[in-house]
Amino acid sequence: MTLIFRIAALTSVVISALIVFTLVRGAIEFLRLVPLSGLIDDAKTPGWFPRRNRFDLPTVVLGTLIMSSIAMVVAVPLGLGTAIFLAEYASSRTRRIIKPIIEVLAGMPSVVVGYFALKFIAPELVANLFQPDKIQNMTAAGIGIGILIVPIMASISEDSLSAVPGALREASYGVGARKSATVIRVVLPAAVSGIVAAFIIAVSRAIGETMVATMAGGLDGSGARTSSPLDPGLSITAALTNAAGGSDQALVGAPVKVLFFLGLLLFVVTMGLNLIADKFVRRVRQKY
Amino acid sequence: MALVSPSIKATTQAQVRASITRRDRNIGGLVLYVLLLIAVATTLLVLFTLLARLFAPALPVFRDRGLSFFTGTIGSNPDKVGIWPGLYGSFIIGIGVIVVSIPLGVAAAIYLEDYAQNRWYNRLIVINIRNLAGIPAVIYGILGLTIFVGWLEPLTTGKTVIAAALTLAVLVLPIVIITATEAIRSVPQGLRDAGYGVGASKWEVTRDHVLPYAAPGILTGTVLSLARALGEAAPLILIGAITGLLPATSLDGPFTALPMTIYSWSSKATPPKSVLGFDNVAAAAGVALLLLVLVFNIIAVIFRNRFEKQRIGL
């Protein structure tokens, strides 16, 4: 019996090993076709054009950075605000109503948010607010990704706020501090590790979010390098899904092999962020 | 009393008065409260707008098409398309998750909680599982493409729903393990000790006492992971789910799933003569997926509440 259970537990290690093996092998094969120096396009208008064997890494990295930054601008105030409200201000009755609603948002399939970004955020919200040249752009996609990560930001922050011992709040009230001063000067600093962890995990999710970036980014797998959030753009994930693209492609050639390279990049970045977040979470646990 | 000069007394009075009146005008606190309210209200508004913008274009589809929308297949005419292949694919994926990841995940959780000693390799397994849970879904798609579509082609016959089901089973495995581990951890030690006390073996204690006690918690986790698997689209793009035409559903042929249907219809241009647009059918498919996922989430919440009640001894 023990042996069966041990094999089950070891399956997860095998999965990790296979993921790393697959990505590294594919990335090496890609780099054999396209040398590292070819990853910065030196054309007049550089860009990510896999069918023409032009793989400009800055294009997709910039796209990812822009979209996840916009996502964080949306998710941090909404998520953290909701968390502080729920943990410090809401009555238990309000909490009982709002928490399940946030959980609905947490369970929202990303493809549905992608549809929302494509059909509402881009044409009605972003188009009216910023008058972009193209209806589909990175701002719309970024806002969509932000909506998706609000619940993560909210729930992890709320957990860390709730973990702050009540005695700290009482001590603050005891020396005559107001509720607002207690929240800002006592509770938030005490919960800062957890909030930082929430932030990092949210960034990691934003970088890895695929469907919204693919559907609402405004490009079909290729495009010029841009640093304007109001331009259409490609994220690493969007470039990846487009490389896999059609269902009847064989796995040959750089335009397809590039998906392993992008996957490895994504894997390394998100895993690094997750490990850092884990350190912060553990710090919260040690403290209280 | 005589030592207090009148001038000091006056400033004290002013200070006291000031501090009393300032209390009535706690502007900072009010601003913070209003900001927090705005944050919560915006979050709720976003959710309601999203739901409204999904249901509104979906209604004409359900009204005009009725059942035929659920039994029709995917294609290029939005007046005729349906979500049957999507439902079929998602159903098989759900079965795959139940058959593969639940036994595997629960067994792994039993090992980690009750059998594993505190050795470095066991700690490594725990860290590894937590990391797996944080890897973007699309990377599991690459894994599935290489392993289940490529290496295991004799078993899965390539880009089929079986390969998709296995991929998503692997994707949710860490979630199943983590929630099952937590459920097993909450089983009181006394229950195990009592079992050992009457001479039961480790496996007997696990089977007859630990697992039944942890069952609601394990169920909560598995239902949540099922909801996650059904909503995931990114890995399916990598596996090669069909977006164009799919005349027949089968286990060993081309496949699609409900989220893929929404994905492909969302960006399709509506042919000029059709009554319903691809916008409408995409929204309707979105409503179907959302309801499916929501039902699973609600089941999970019910399980969890029962679980918590059981803990307080009600």
Per-residue pLDDT of A218-242, as tens digits, reads: 888 788 888 888 889 899 999 998 8
Q: Among A68-77, A197-206, A267-276, B154-163, where is mean pLDDT lowest?
A: B154-163
Q: Nearest CA to CA, how far is B103 from chain A (Å)?
A: 9
Residue in chain B lying closest to A270 (CA): B135
Instruction: Give the residue, A41 or A277, on which the prediction is more confident.
Output: A277
pLDDT in tens, B41-80: 999 999 999 999 999 998 888 888 888 877 777 777 777 7
Whole-number mean pLDDT of chain B?
83
Q: Nearest CA to CA, how far is A56 from chain B (Å)?
A: 21
Question: What is the helix (H) or strand (E) element at residue A223, kind and residue range?
Answer: strand A223-224
Residue in chain A lying closest to B139 (CA): A263
Residue A32 domain-assigned (yes or no)? no
DSSP state of B198: T
What is the pLDDT, as a whole number, of residue A248?
47
Query: Residue A146 — very low, low, confident or very high, per pLDDT cuts 50/70/90?
Result: very high
Q: Is the CA virtual torsion A142, A147, A148, A151 positive or negative?
A: positive
Phi first, then psi, for residue A246 (nearest 5°) are: -60, 160
Say which residues have a Cβ less than 8 Å from residue B303's Cβ, sequence separation at least 6. Answer: B216, B217, B219, B220, B223
Q: Enter the ipTM.
A: 0.88
- B281: contact with A, CB 8 A cutoff: no
* CATH class of domain segment(s) B68-312: mainly alpha
**Count of the separate structural domains present in chain A:** 1
What is the pLDDT, as a whole number, of residue A247?
41
Residue A254 domain-assigned (yes or no)? yes
Distance between alpha carbon A227 and the CA centroid of its chain, in Å?
A: 19
Residue A191 domain-assigned (yes or no)? yes
Q: What is the CATH number of the domain that holds A196?
A: 1.10.3720.10
Q: Contact B254/A247, CB-based, under 8 Å?
A: yes
What is the pLDDT, as a whole number, of residue A9?
85
**Is the pLDDT score of B206 beyond 90?**
no
In terms of residue numbers, what domain contains A153?
A: 57-287
What are the extents of the domains in chain B? 68-312
Q: Contact B50/A1, CB-based, under 8 Å?
A: no
Give me the mean pLDDT over the A170-178 stretch. 90
**Is the pLDDT score of B314 beyond 50?**
no
What is the pLDDT, as a whole number, of residue B208?
86
Residue A50 domain-assigned (yes or no)? no
Query: Residue B3 — very low, low, confident or very high, per pLDDT cuts 50/70/90?
Result: low
What is the pLDDT, as a whole number, of residue B270?
77
- B56: contact with A, CB 8 A cutoff: no
B interface test, pick of A1, A101, A236, A276 with most B CB neighbours within 10 Å: A1
Instruction: Give the residue, A40 or A232, on which the prediction is more confident.
Output: A232
Instruction: Using CB atoms, pick whichever of B36, B47, B108 lies closest to residue A9.
Output: B108
Give me the mean pLDDT over the A133-151 stretch. 92
SS3 for A206-255 is HHHCCHHHHHHCCCCCCEECCCCCCCCCCCHHHHHHHHHCCCCCCCCCHH
